[in-house]
Amino acid sequence: MTIDLKEELCAVFAGALAEVVSTTTGLALDMVSTMQDDGFGEMVGIMNLNSKNRGLIFISAEEEDVRMLYSCMTGVPVEQVGEDDMSDTLCELVNMTAGSVKLRIKDPDYMFSLSSPFVIRGTDISMVTKKRVPVISRMLRGEKIAVKIKVVYS
Amino acid sequence: MELDLKFHYPVDPEEYVLFRDFILKHSGIVIPPEKTYLIETRLSRLMAEAGYEDFGKFYTYVVSGRDPLLPQKIINAITTNETLWFRDATPWRVLEEFVLPPLVKAMMSGEKSRIRIWLSAVSTGQEAYSTAMCVDNYLKTNNIRDISLSDFDFFATDISSRVLDYAKRARYDGISITRGLSEYYRDRYFTKNGMAWELDPRIKQAIRFRQFNLHQDYSEFGIFDVIFCRYVLIYFSEEKKREIINKLYNALDSRGVLFTGNYALYELFADKYDANHFKNLTYYTKKNPKF
Amino acid sequence: MKLLIVDDSAVIRKVIKAAAGVLSMEAEEAQDGIEALEKLAECHREISLVLLDWNMPEMSGYDVLVEMKKNEKYKDIPVMMVTTESQKTSIVAAIRAGAANYLTKPFTTEELELKIIECIGEEGDY
């Protein structure tokens, strides 16, 4: 993957996530950095992107931020947000982000179909990949929350 | 049904150009190439309903004029609706601190007979109602009794006719009511009826709504003390931006204030307007006002 | 007036329910296509509009739409697809199969309410 293509894909994925969050929650997110570390938040929503270049998308955030996202999406107070609600929120974010990205990618090698998203949870989750596997990472931050997005193509 | 990718025919470049030009002609709005997908997501339903599955053929149908409502339906579908209360908060702070005090004073002294505020892209109503609530709250908290909402003209327009019908109901769901609206305003100006939040009829009735496209002529609207034209100019071509900024200049009182949203547009304004800053907000006033 | 909301995501069902509430509409919920058909069998007479997600486990929303349009009892109930599938081919396929409207995710509640009104008209008591 060339650096240009990587940057372009990165902008597409992160831009789609920001748009999804802003539409569904009213929260504005700015792109703050390319993440140097391979860290995740405490909750990670994952989807397999079925395409010629097989990909995985990871959207993660701290539990507190996922609660806030749910609260803004549904109008339910933060303290009433349950565990299932949180997982569901991340799954939907992944689903909608991947759906939005799908429309913006016309390169047949990267064009994908959606699959069922799932969530993993834990502290200090890290990812180790082989050297040449391209990993795209971005951190998006707003006034109230921060969300990380990673995309891996193999 | 699994969708097979090989059946995915997106909008091709020629079709993109046809619809880009159509939308530009009818609304002044520009769809940049990287947003080609908007044509696909927003217009496919209208295309399918008209019985087509190819944007080229659909275009021929659209311009044939056989469905006279179609151009407005296309504009309604393509425009994005922003839906926050008091978006960015700062314009209403400027209103309270710098704009309303001299205007109210001029009203009291008889120098002015009416305060006119134009909200030029109100979408589902939040910006217009935020402004009327802000004014009403300002009058109340400052114990100004000689002037009321009826001394103000809140003129609210949008290019999309369907969002204005929504705005006129002044009824919001439990989710949209949380977007930017503080409990202070919610508790004072809204009543919960079932699952809906209904706006105080005084505020609702203070707004005059009208469907209007910013690239049309607005000389008949008269002169305004405040114009909100926020997060709209970016959708227009450079040429249209300049044209609109000039027309807004003619519609603005010599001491009037123009809010445009948080964009770096100053170069476009530099000839005719002074940029004023409040926190992260830039707002514009006319150069050399004739006091 | 009652909606049938068919979506495997509880968050989405909750958001749709809030939007329906502002239009004074009640809602039945189903988590997948099979449950949707069960709900329809139970209470199709009360349902004025079905909101269907596309990608769901067991049976897709598109398949539910096709089944509904084949069934004399359900075929006149308007259906709106509410889905992340936002490509031309999906939209054309759904409209051809008889969907009355199409809303792509993500959406705002205002947009959803406008689309519901487009489907059922201004019949509520608002």
C-alpha–C-alpha distance, residues B107 and A100, integer Å:
51
**Band (A131; pLDDT cuts 50, 70, 90):** confident
Q: Mean pLDDT of successive 10-residue segments in chain B (291 residues)?
A: 40 90 89 85 89 91 92 87 85 97 96 97 96 98 96 96 93 93 97 96 98 91 96 85 92 95 70 88 81 47
Indicate yes or no: CB of C18 within 8 angstroms of CB of A74. Answer: yes
Sequence-distant (6+) residues with CB within 8 A of A83 are: none
Task: State the angle between helix axes of B161-169 and C109-120 in degrees (0 to 180), rounded to the nearest 10.
Answer: 100
Domain boundaries, chain C: 2-125
Which residues 50-79 of A are in CB contact (within 8 Å) with B?
Answer: 72-75
Parent domain of A133: 3-153
Sequence-distant (6+) residues with CB within 8 A of B71 are: B22, B26, B62
Indicate yes or no: CB of A26 within 8 angstroms of CB of B2. Answer: no
DSSP B89: S
pLDDT of residue B262: 62
Structure tokens at A86: 């949180």
Please name the residue of chain A whose CA is at the shortest distance from the CA of residue B6.
A108
Domain containing A130 — which CATH number?
3.40.1550.10
Place of tokens 């109901």: B169
Indicate yes or no: CB of C95 within 8 angstroms of CB of B49. Answer: yes
pLDDT of residue C122: 65
pLDDT tens digits for C42-88? 999 999 999 999 999 889 999 999 999 999 999 999 999 999 988 88
Residues of B in contact with A111 (CB under 8 A): 5, 8
CATH of the domain spanning C2-125, picked from 3.40.50.12280, 3.40.50.2300, 3.40.50.300, 3.40.50.10860:
3.40.50.2300
Query: How many domains does the structure of chain A reveal?
Result: 1
Q: Which of A111, A72, A77 is nearest to A93 (CA)?
A: A72
**Disruptive mutation site among A84, A96, A104 for chain C (greatest number of C CBs within 10 Å):** A96
Indicate yes or no: CB of B5 within 8 angstroms of CB of A111. Answer: yes
A117-143 average pLDDT score: 88
**Band (A1; pLDDT cuts 50, 70, 90):** low
Q: Rounded to whole angstroms, what are the CA distances from B226 to B117, B145, B160, B252, C12?
A: 5, 22, 22, 7, 39
The mean pLDDT value of chain A amounts to: 88
Burial grade of A11 (CB within 10 A; 0-12, 13-18, 19 or more): middle
Structure tokens at A123: 């502290």
Residue A67 has pLDDT above 90, yes or no: yes
Which residues 84-113 of C are in CB contact (within 8 Å) with A?
Answer: 84-87, 104-108
The mean pLDDT value of chain C amounts to: 93
Residue A111 has pLDDT above 90, yes or no: no
H/E segment holding residue A105: none
Residue C30 near residue C64, CB atoms below 8 Å: no
The answer to whether the predicted template modeling score (pTM) of the entire model surpasses 0.95 is no
**Band (A106; pLDDT cuts 50, 70, 90):** confident
Nearest to A75 among B10, B83, B174 (CB): B174
H/E segment holding residue B127: helix B126-141
Q: Which of C61, B13, B4 is nearest to A111 (CA)?
A: B4
C-alpha–C-alpha distance, residues A30 and B90, integer Å:
19
Q: Which of B153, B155, B138, B154 is nearest to B104 (CA)?
A: B138
Indicate yes or no: CB of A104 within 8 angstroms of CB of B178. Answer: no
Pairing, β B224-228 against β B252-259: parallel
Q: How many CB pairs under 8 A join A and C?
A: 53
pLDDT of residue A3: 67
pLDDT of residue A74: 95
Please tell me the distance in Å from C115's CA to the nearest CA on chain A.
Answer: 16
pLDDT tens digits for A14-43? 989 999 999 999 898 887 766 555 689 999
C-alpha–C-alpha distance, residues A64 and A69, integer Å:
9
Residue B214 near residue B232, CB atoms below 8 Å: yes
- Measure CA of the first residue to CA of the last residue in chain C; give whole Å: 12
**Disruptive mutation site among A19, A21, A24 for chain C (greatest number of C CBs within 10 Å):** A24
DSSP per-residue string spanning chain C: -EEEEE-S-HHHHHHHHHHHHHTT-EEEEESSHHHHHHHHHHHGGGEEEEEE-SS-SSS-HHHHHHHHHHSTTTTTS-EEEEES--SHHHHHHHHHTT-SEEEESS--HHHHHHHHHHHH-S-S--
pLDDT tens digits for C12-51? 999 999 999 999 999 999 999 999 999 999 999 999 999 9
pLDDT of residue B5: 34
C-alpha–C-alpha distance, residues C28 and C6, integer Å:
9
Please tell me the distance in Å from C5's CA to the nearest CA on chain A.
Answer: 16
Residues of B in contact with C60 (CB under 8 A): 1
Cβ count within 10 A of residue C79: 25
pLDDT of residue C18: 93
Please tell me the distance in Å from C73's CA to the nearest CA on chain A.
Answer: 32
Indicate yes or no: CB of B175 within 8 angstroms of CB of A104. Answer: no
Residues of A in contact with C105 (CB under 8 A): 95-96, 99
Indicate yes or no: CB of A75 within 8 angstroms of CB of B2. Answer: no
pLDDT of residue B287: 87
A96-125 average pLDDT score: 88
CA–centroid distance for B55 within its chain: 29
C-alpha–C-alpha distance, residues A17 and A121, integer Å:
20
Place of tokens 């929504």: B166
Q: Which of C16, C94, C105 is nearest to C61 (CA)?
A: C94
Amino acid letter at B253? D
The interface predicted TM-score (ipTM) is 0.89
Indicate yes or no: CB of B175 within 8 angstroms of CB of A74. Answer: yes
Sequence-distant (6+) residues with CB within 8 A of A63 are: A41, A42, A43, A86
